[in-house]
């Protein structure tokens, strides 16, 4: 079955059954491997993408449910201009704060954090924690992740980072 999706600002066509998980279409058909398979039950967040501004676990969402919606994957965060890659403030902050240890969960956390910062430029610690509730990290870098998101929010507000 041919399915048309809007992914990272582009119209993309995949050959997938309507019930195929969106994650499989992104990874296997489109080569967008940033979202990762973790639990397959929508409980760990490693497969998080943004759909119409909301963070969504793509492993248990049928591709048919994403038709006609704007899908953003972690690959859309960095922008390449004149052959130079410009990282998103969240990516820079994660590097600076060394927020990812093994990195398996990082793309899902980045997407959940981006969805938050897109609507709340100055989130409290509690709001960040609530936004990341669906994302599991077993490495224990939670403090660094929180600092990185606050650093990115500060940069995005134009306050610089100290």
Q: Which residue has the higher pLDDT, 81 or 4?
A: 4
Q: Which value, to the nearest 10 degrees, does the dihedral of the CA atoms of residues 144, 149, 150, 151 take?
A: 80
CATH number of 79-156: 1.10.150.120
State percent of the chain over pLDDT 90: 83
pLDDT in tens, 75-110: 999 876 666 779 999 999 999 999 988 888 999 999
Tokens encoding 139 = 């490495």
Q: What value does the mean pLDDT of the chain take?
A: 93
pLDDT in tens, 124-145: 999 999 999 999 888 888 999 9
Name the residue ranges covered by the structural domains of the chain. Answer: 2-76, 79-156
Residues with Cβ within 8 Å of 34's Cβ and at least 6 positions away in sequence, in order, are 73, 74, 75, 107
pLDDT in tens, 115-126: 999 999 999 999
Assign a CATH topology to domain 2-76.
Ubiquitin-like (UB roll) (3.10.20)
pTM (predicted TM-score)? 0.92
Nearest to 153 by CA among 131, 120, 115: 120
């Amino acid at each position: 079955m041919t399915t048309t999706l809007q992914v990272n600002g582009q119209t993309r066509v995949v050959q997938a059954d309507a019930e195929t998980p969106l994650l499989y279409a992104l990874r296997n058909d489109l080569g967008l491997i940033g979202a990762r398979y973790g639990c397959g039950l929508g409980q760990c967040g490693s497969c998080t993408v943004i759909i119409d501004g909301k963070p969504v676990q793509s492993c248990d969402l049928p591709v048919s449910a994403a038709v006609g919606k704007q899908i953003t994957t972690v690959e859309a965060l960095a922008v390449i201009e004149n052959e130079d890659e410009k990282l998103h403030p969240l990516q820079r902050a994660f590097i600076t704060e060394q927020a990812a240890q093994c990195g398996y969960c990082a793309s899902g956390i980045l997407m959940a954090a981006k969805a938050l910062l897109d609507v709340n430029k100055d989130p409290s610690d509690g709001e960040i924690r609530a936004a990341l509730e669906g994302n599991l990290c077993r490495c224990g870098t939670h403090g660094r992740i929180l600092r990185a998101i606050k650093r990115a929010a500060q940069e995005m507000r134009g306050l610089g980072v100290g």
